[in-house]
Amino acid sequence: MNRRQFLLLATAGAIGSALGVSTLMKRAVAATPQHLFSATDNPAGGHFLTRLDISNGQMQSVAVPMRGHAVLPLADGKVLMFGRRPAFESVAVEFGEGSTTPIKAEAGRHFDGHGCLSANGDVLFTSENAYDAKRGVLGIRDSKTFQHLGEYDTHGLDPHDIHLMPDGKTLVVANGGIEQHPDFGRRKLNLDTMQPSLVYLDAATGQKIDEYRLPDHHLSIRHLLVTPTGDVGVALQYEGDLYRTQPASLVAWQASGSDLKLLDISREAIAPFNGYMADLAYDAAQDILAVTSPRGHHVTFWSVREQRFLHATPLPEPSGIAFQPEQGAFLVSDASGNLNTLSTNQQQASASLLHQFPDRLWDNHLVIS
């Protein structure tokens, strides 16, 4: 496939599309959501992609060769699991057969944990690190064959989460800003000079459309949520000295067409979250953003309308989170193997245990489809 063919593939169906991003990202999903997918480990350190039937608690786990991070169900029934950085492999899992298909990183590249599809679902974008060149890139692959087609520059280091915007034409990339090299494991090599950024790219050409930064360069921009109307929520991780300084916030929001802004929280309220936010989900009806803080052992809730922190509810190492519109509640996994349902309003949240799997350590993200 040449570049022209790829561009056609990537843009086909994008023009004029007004699909919501959830539809775009989960286009393979059945009409009635019933399965939860997440990377998991067992207590001995084995790595799996796990599928759970939410209605009856039946679980199937397929062993995979590397620790995964984010997952992405495809239209053909396969589920992609992206390797946790620095991973030289991601996998496509077929639960029916319990089989895995490896997706290898190109030479000099490793996967950074996330990926998304083009508007028509034919092209897969993955966040990757071109480590010798110290460059963040998006790998571009055929979503059926996983053949590598090319790559885009992300205009920053450490690209992590990546989403397609509702226009079907624009990619939003969280450049975490942290330099790393697989020779040095997961060590962070540039904390003094890190420069995280939120970058928008033309999905068809890779051209940079826009770039946003936060006032504190130690706030690593890591995980994103995109609403159907094109707003972007951002979960942040603080790389400064928490023992001396608390960050101004750990959550940011960019209303469509506006600037990227930190949501308000007091210094006292932010301290328990230990500078670390993981996954995020959004209840559009209440305009409430929920963000998990595994190091803070809380799920936090934020008013988007009022641009401020509301409250938090304790859970042990909460990790993946998704909003279930039908139930009007959030589903949250945690490191003790529990799946919890959280209902919230502006004042408070209540958690109830949905399923318990003591030998299952849920990883940072979950997807319901």
Partner 1 sequence: MFKTLFFCLLLLPFSVLAETAPAPNPAVPLTDAEQLLGKLVDDGIRPLYRELDVTGNTLAQRSKTFCAEPTAEHFKVLREGWGETLLAWQRTDALLFGPAVEEQIDFRINFNPPKKSVINGLLNGTEALTAASVDKAGVAAMGLGTLEFLLFEHEKSEADMLALFQGDAGKRRCAYVEAASELLKTNLHTIADGWLQEGENSYASAFKTAHKGNSTFASTQQAIDLLVGKLYQSVEKTAKKRIGNALGKGVQLSGEGDQKMLNQSNAYQLESWRSGYSIKLIRANVEGMQRILRDGGLLQWLRDHNRAGAEKFVADAMEQRLDNYLKLPLPAADPFTLVSNGQGKELDGYFFLGNDILNGVKLQLAKILGVNLGFNDNDGD
Q: Which residues contact partner 1 by CB under 8 A?
A: 41-48, 61-63, 65, 69, 84-85, 113, 160, 183-184, 186-189, 220, 222, 237, 241, 243-244, 274, 276, 278, 294-295, 297, 314-317, 319, 335, 359, 361-364
Q: What is the CA radius of gyration of the chain?
A: 19
Q: Are strands 123-130 and 135-142 parallel, antiparallel or unpaired?
A: antiparallel
Least Å from the CB of residue 276 to partner 1: 6
Residue 133 or residue 184: which is nearer to partner 1 going by CB?
Answer: 184
Least Å from the CB of residue 180 to partner 1: 10
Least Å from the CB of residue 322 to partner 1: 16
In whole angstroms, what separates CA 80 from the centre of its chain? Answer: 13
- How far apart, in whole angstroms, are the C-alpha atoms of residue 36 and residue 323? 12
Residue 57 or residue 316: which is nearer to partner 1 going by CB?
Answer: 316
Residue 167 or residue 363: which is nearer to partner 1 going by CB?
Answer: 363
Residue 38 tokens read as 């997440």
- How far apart, in whole angstroms, are the C-alpha atoms of residue 148 and residue 86? 19
Residue 147 or residue 184: which is nearer to partner 1 going by CB?
Answer: 184
Residue 165 or residue 321: which is nearer to partner 1 going by CB?
Answer: 321
**E strands present in 146-287:** 148-153, 159-164, 170-175, 197-202, 208-212, 219-226, 232-238, 251-254, 260-262, 280-283
Least Å from the CB of residue 34 to partner 1: 22
Residue 69 or residue 109: which is nearer to partner 1 going by CB?
Answer: 69
Least Å from the CB of residue 242 to partner 1: 9
- How far apart, in whole angstroms, are the C-alpha atoms of residue 11 and residue 168? 8
CB 107 within 8 A of CB 123: no
Least Å from the CB of residue 318 to partner 1: 8
Residue 183 or residue 326: which is nearer to partner 1 going by CB?
Answer: 183
Judge if the upstream peptide bond of residue 86 is cis by omega within 30 degrees of 0.
yes
- 270 in helix, strand or coil? helix
Least Å from the CB of residue 178 to partner 1: 9
- Length of the chain measured in residues: 369
CB 313 within 8 A of CB 350: yes
Residue 169 or residue 365: which is nearer to partner 1 going by CB?
Answer: 365
- How far apart, in whole angstroms, are the C-alpha atoms of residue 263 and residue 231? 14
Least Å from the CB of residue 71 to partner 1: 14
- How far apart, in whole angstroms, are the C-alpha atoms of residue 55 and residue 34? 7
